[in-house]
Structure 1
């Protein structure tokens, strides 16, 4: 087979998207309630890491970056995750407190996208979560200067060992570690449909209420 007749390199990755229609009448009155419904369905469907989300940030100079983090809570105030405040994402959010989240629930042919402002959680709220974590994760939070260059894996392991000796039972909450809350201004629910005629319904905050808009796929 010559190059002219070869199939495109991504031909084998093509998929059809056939899901239940997503109609305006199906939605909850506000986006966090709708998210809770879809999130529960993702858990029930057995999706691996249904709380994994892509977090996109930008520096004060406009340099974007994205990574996967874990959602640790959601309520009427927003979507919560925890991190090292001195990491790249922590620095970005200090300089430019806006973010976008994406929940890529591919097996269900669904996606949720959240845009909003970002605020730090009160220290007591971060402390309550920190002390609920396994001991090893708490030592790890101290041991890792997240996003900093390290000379070797051995350097990390040695630091972890020293800190475990220092706090054999209950390490305290680091000053540089805690939670962020993404306070949504827009939340879009995407449901795949056949022929790429996907359903996209977006909640957009206007004052103290939400409007729902259908977007072209």
Structure 2
């Protein structure tokens, strides 16, 4: 009797008759002939079938899978962090007005806009209400044409006003947080410095 896959299947399922069982057992015990009766496709199919059955039986069990660890890509997080840092830096510079070439300026805001003064001291004539900001890290000063002089602390904002022809200056730090003095900025100013840059 020739041993073929159908007989082997019946033998494994215990449905083969006595003659088929004896033929399979004789064939298994006989090492004299070439017993490779299954093609390579059939062997591969059986192999995959066995692995599928093992996977189905072990579903839910602790099966260890060996996978190649992925390399972490640090480029995207570093790029994002750098972009956020640059955005914050630019926003801070715009908010404080601290641009690199004008970091030591006195900024005087009037109804006409901002005037930046690079000198440590300047003379001005004004009427109305002004905002004065010492953007520098050093003490600066301003002098009115009537002879009144004011010292400006580094990084401090002041409000300069004229009432009945008399000038006065108030540091923003002395004002109430609820006061919005910048809404009153109006009037004219004329600067007499050696270097002034108008940003109107």
Q: Which has the higher contact order (CA 8 A, sep 6+)?
A: 1
Task: Tell me the TM-score range normalised by the shorter chain.
Answer: under 0.3
Taking structure 1 as the reference length, the TM-score comes to 0.20
Taking structure 2 as the reference length, the TM-score comes to 0.22
- Higher share in helix: 2
Rg (Cα) greater in structure:
2
